[in-house]
Amino acid sequence: QKEVEQNSGPLSVPEGAIASLNCTYSDRGSQSFFWYRQYSGKSPELIMFIYSNGDKEDGRFTAQLNKASQYVSLLIRDSQPSDSATYLCAVKPSSGTYKYIFGTGTRLKVLA
Amino acid sequence: EAGVAQSPRYKIIEKRQSVAFWCNPISGHATLYWYQQILGQGPKLLIQFQNNGVVDDSQLPKDRFSAERLKGVDSTLKIQPAKLEDSAVYLCASSDQGASGYTFGSGTRLTVV
């Protein structure tokens, strides 16, 4: 079992719709969870991080964490073509120092 | 604040040659990471430095890869000799403590032919 799993996609949504991206992780003790956006040919950029169960909202983005089920999700409301990118989920394992394990990413395509 | 600087942006070498990448982290960031990202995959941690000491190099292929961070600031990652499977983007990242995520540089795209 991979440590951090994401569906590679592509996930296609129409402009203005809600895009839902999911991530599951294997280390039950993980405490920190991050979402990065990566445009083609560019480096990852941090969108959001979440530590506590529940929802965290930032503009059009909402991160949701369910530690009991070991999944974290990212919702993008009012999706725009500029949101088309690969979204990487990263998890800090329970042991060790501050390093993140990344999933393979989900490619999102927002159709105009 | 200036971001994480990396050079070169692109490098093409033949297999069995050597190559070096350079990274300058955000000023004041004690922790520096080198990640390898193969096309279509997520970034994979190669090595983590805290100041000038190695914290984690468990996934660094030590027979061909080496890295150093002299004086706790700049870092270099070297590959010698390179293999075809080393073709990837090498990303440098830095953080103050890592609790709030870290910042990536623009990366170096390596092609081994």
pLDDT at A43: 95
B57 alpha carbon, distance to own chain's centre: 12
Q: Average pLDDT over chain B, rounded to whole?
A: 93
State whether residue B76 sits within 8 Å of chain A by CB. no
User: CA–CA separation, A29 vs B11, rounded Å?
Assistant: 40
State whether residue A32 sits within 8 Å of chain B by CB. yes
Q: Report residue B99's pLDDT band, with 50, 70 and 90 as the boundaries.
A: low
CB-CB contact of A89 with A23 (8 Å): yes
Tell me how close the Cα of A18 comes to any Cα of chain B, in angstroms: 24
Taking CB atoms and an 8 Å limit, are B55 and A88 in contact across chains?
Answer: no
Q: How many CA atoms lie within 13 A of A96 on its CB side?
A: 18
Q: Report residue B1's pLDDT band, with 50, 70 and 90 as the boundaries.
A: low
For residue range A53-98, list pLDDT tens digits in order: 899 999 999 999 999 999 999 999 999 999 999 999 999 888 766 7
SS3 B57: coil
User: CA–CA separation, B72 vs B78, rounded Å?
Assistant: 17
User: CA–CA separation, A39 vs A82, rounded Å?
Assistant: 9
User: Is residue B84 over pLDDT 90?
Assistant: yes
User: Is residue B48 over pLDDT 70?
Assistant: yes
Token duo for residue A107 = 């490619």
As to burial, measured by CB atoms within 10 angstroms (0-12 exposed, 13-18 middle, 19+ buried), residue B79 is buried
As to burial, measured by CB atoms within 10 angstroms (0-12 exposed, 13-18 middle, 19+ buried), residue A68 is exposed
Tell me how close the Cα of B67 comes to any Cα of chain A, in angstroms: 17
Taking CB atoms and an 8 Å limit, are A46 and B103 in contact across chains?
Answer: yes
